[in-house]
């Protein structure tokens, strides 16, 4: 908690106390109060108690040790790609994905004065999503742990030449002036969040509903292994909406794949496709099946 800027600490303490009193309603998120994770938690479940955590690891740990029933974590952005390290953190957490949420992202430039500004602080994703805006104004981007934390940091520093890129709500929370709104480079900026819990969803919850299943796998080290592993999805008519690779360990000797498919175990076509995938894999781990919030295709 002490890693937050001073203006954010009081709000963090209040929200942490509220979540501790009713952890079944708590949703952990990464960042200071007012960040996009905070917004996503309230959009996903308006009756929840958002629990701020300094890092993604802290948010996942809050669920693992029972301080929160769920965590909401950004996994990818339509403009800036996947969120760094998430593909490593999710499998290692031992938690299950039980939901997803898509949220339109709108950034505001905020500071103590009207500018001009020399430096803008924000999360690397937000800086990347506002790259053109900053470059044309000759504002140097500086990475911070999260968007709202950057706003709190600017308020704490009291320097009129620095600013933050954060959700508009952060300006209200930390007494900053909104200089410009919608500074993201693309109007259709969207982030996908996943919701995690200690236990997977009961399959009965998904009965009759459009569902997604997320899993990671490593194929056997033989020629055409990935091609053969993917064949089962084609022959069984299962739509794979995402397939990404990432390196396992530092040796570059093993490649893991992260995948999303439409459907869930219990569907005969999905079961057949997953069985064929498993035959060609050294490792296969389902991270969760959950209701589909946004229609694919």
CATH number for 114? 3.40.190.10
Cβ neighbours of residue 67 closer than 8 Å, sequence gap 6 or more: 19, 20, 23, 26, 28, 51
Give yes or no: residues 76 and 12 share one domain: yes
Task: Give pLDDT tens digits along the chain (297 positions).
Answer: 457 899 999 899 999 999 999 999 999 999 899 999 999 999 999 999 999 999 899 999 999 999 999 999 999 988 777 776 788 899 999 999 999 999 999 999 999 999 999 999 998 889 998 999 999 999 999 999 889 999 999 999 999 999 999 999 999 999 999 999 999 998 888 999 999 999 999 988 998 899 999 999 999 988 898 999 999 999 999 999 999 998 876 666 678 999 999 999 999 999 999 999 999 999 999 999 999 999 886
pTM: 0.90
The yes-or-no answer on residue 191 being catalytic is yes
* Options 117, 193, 215, 217, the catalytic residue: 193
Token pair for 177: 């002036």
In a domain, 93, yes or no: yes
- Cβ(270)–Cβ(263) below 8 Å: yes
* Options 191, 214, 233, 257, the catalytic residue: 191
Range of the domain at 58: 6-104+190-197
In a domain, 296, yes or no: no
Give yes or no: residues 223 and 271 share one domain: yes
Cβ neighbours of residue 64 closer than 8 Å, sequence gap 6 or more: 93, 94, 95, 198
The yes-or-no answer on residue 16 being catalytic is no
In a domain, 215, yes or no: yes
Token pair for 138: 């000759």
Overall domain count for the chain = 3
Domain boundary among 181, 213, 229: 181
């Amino acid at each position: 908690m002490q890693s937050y800027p001073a203006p954010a600490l009081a709000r963090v303490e209040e929200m942490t106390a509220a979540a501790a009193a009713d952890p079944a309603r708590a949703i952990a998120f990464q960042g200071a109060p007012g960040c996009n994770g905070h917004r996503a938690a309230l959009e996903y479940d308006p009756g929840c108690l958002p629990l701020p955590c300094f890092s993604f690891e802290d948010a996942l740990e809050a669920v693992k040790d029972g301080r929160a029933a769920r965590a909401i974590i950004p996994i990818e952005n339509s403009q800036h790609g996947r969120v760094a390290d998430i593909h490593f953190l999710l499998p290692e957490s031992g938690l299950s994905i039980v939901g997803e949420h898509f949220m339109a992202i709108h950034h505001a430039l905020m500071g103590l004065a009207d500018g001009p500004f020399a430096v803008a602080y924000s999360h690397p994703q937000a800086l990347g999503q506002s790259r053109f805006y900053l470059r044309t104004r000759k504002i140097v981007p500086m990475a911070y742990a999260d968007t709202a934390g950057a706003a709190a940091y600017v308020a704490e520093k009291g320097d009129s030449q620095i600013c933050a890129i954060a959700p508009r709500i952060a300006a209200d929370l930390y007494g900053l002036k909104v200089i410009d709104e919608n500074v993201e480079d693309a109007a259709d900026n969207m982030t996908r969040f996943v919701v995690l819990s200690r236990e997977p969803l009961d399959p009965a919850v998904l009965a009759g509903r459009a569902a997604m299943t997320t899993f990671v796998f490593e194929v056997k080290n033989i020629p055409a292994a990935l091609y053969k592993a993917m064949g089962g999805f084609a022959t069984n008519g299962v739509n794979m909406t995402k397939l990404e690779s990432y390196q396992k360990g530092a040796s570059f000797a093993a490649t893991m794949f992260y995948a999303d498919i439409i459907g869930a175990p219990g569907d005969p076509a999905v079961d057949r496709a997953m069985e064929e995938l498993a035959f060609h894999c050294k490792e296969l781990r389902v991270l969760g099946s959950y209701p589909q919030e946004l229609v694919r295709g």
